[in-house]
Amino acid sequence: MTSMSRARVARRIAAGAAYGGGGIGLVGAAAMGLLLAEVRLARRQVGNGTTPHVPQADGRYGHGYTVVGEPPLRLVMLGDSTAAGQGVHRAGQTPGALLASGLAAVAERPVELRNVALPGATSDDLDRQVALTLSDPARVPDVCVIMIGANDVTHRMPATRSVRHLSSAVRRLRTAGAEVVVGTCPDLGTIEPVQQPLRWLARRASRQLAAAQTIGAVEQGGRTVSLGDLLGPEFEANPRELFGPDNYHPSAEGYATAAMAVLPTVCAALSLWPADEDRPDASRREGFLPVARAAAEAASEAGTEVAAALPTGPTGPWALLKRRRRRRVRATEPAPAVDAAQREAGSSSV
């Protein structure tokens, strides 16, 4: 499928989501039935159980940085098992911990991480997750990272419904004052136990949803980073290195690869990235495009960022497409919450 035809499909899905349309199919019903059967078999083979182990990574990162009079930055992770960090054993290996550590290093300021993501979640769970995120008006996050979409495809959620829930989540978070970065639907065609010819169907469905997610998120003031095509080729080339023990979820190296791609966009959303990095670089094929075309381009290339640019253009809203240089992040462990509380109590008594 060409980028132009993918853009048309993505725009149609996003329009259906915005105006309450029905379920525009990602692939044919018969083919999707076969794909879902294959994915379910893959899940049984890899042991993706109903009680997955997810390390508890909530806490404060970057304790070596102190800014007088400035509270820690607040980062919240929302989404499914990828956002939660299923597949690794240590808290510091989860994407939330990696992003919190990297953000603290760039900002030279502590970062408080909260993870409300739920393994197995589809996009309709975002309403609950956003409610948890915004439950305390005095602690609105500075930035939220959402990773979701794979379960929408495998559970046959209509793409319009999926995008509608994501758009609503982005809108609510942005209205509350949080920046939002969405890691779009990963490439299901990289799951090893899923065989051809169904892999290309999974890849096609994933890319169509990722492009539609980009349109929905960007039009609500969020930014997106394509995860599917970032991880896909690397997972295929290095499955033993980049997949975790279950061959279904990323390993520590896989999550680090994703975090390196998302971190620059998180920093840019908080105005922590160098100003010259926000200018499009023609040599890197960056620039301003209609949002649907930018979404289709992003779905086809590794780690591409899309952010809102102009509200109107000849064919509707325009977006800035960026291919930011990845920033390596190091895994660290959060300090225990009790220690953080004691430190705050001690500093306030001085």
Residues annotated as catalytic are: 81, 246, 249
Structure tokens at 41: 């078999």
Structure tokens at 233: 């080729």
Burial-class residue 137 by CB neighbours within 10 Å (0-12, 13-18, 19+).
exposed
Structure tokens at 253: 């190296």
Is residue 21 classed as helix, strand or coil in its secondary structure?
A: coil
> CA dist 303 to 112, 165, 291, Å?
25, 23, 17
Phi, psi of 300, rounded to the nearest 5 degrees? -105, 0
Between CA 252 and CA 241 the distance in angstroms is 9
Between CA 145 and CA 182 the distance in angstroms is 6
CA angle 24, 168, 304 (to 5 degrees): 75
322, 16, 243, 57: which is closest to 8 by C-alpha? 16
Q: What is the DSSP letter of 160?
A: H
88: number of CA atoms within 13 Å, CB side?
27
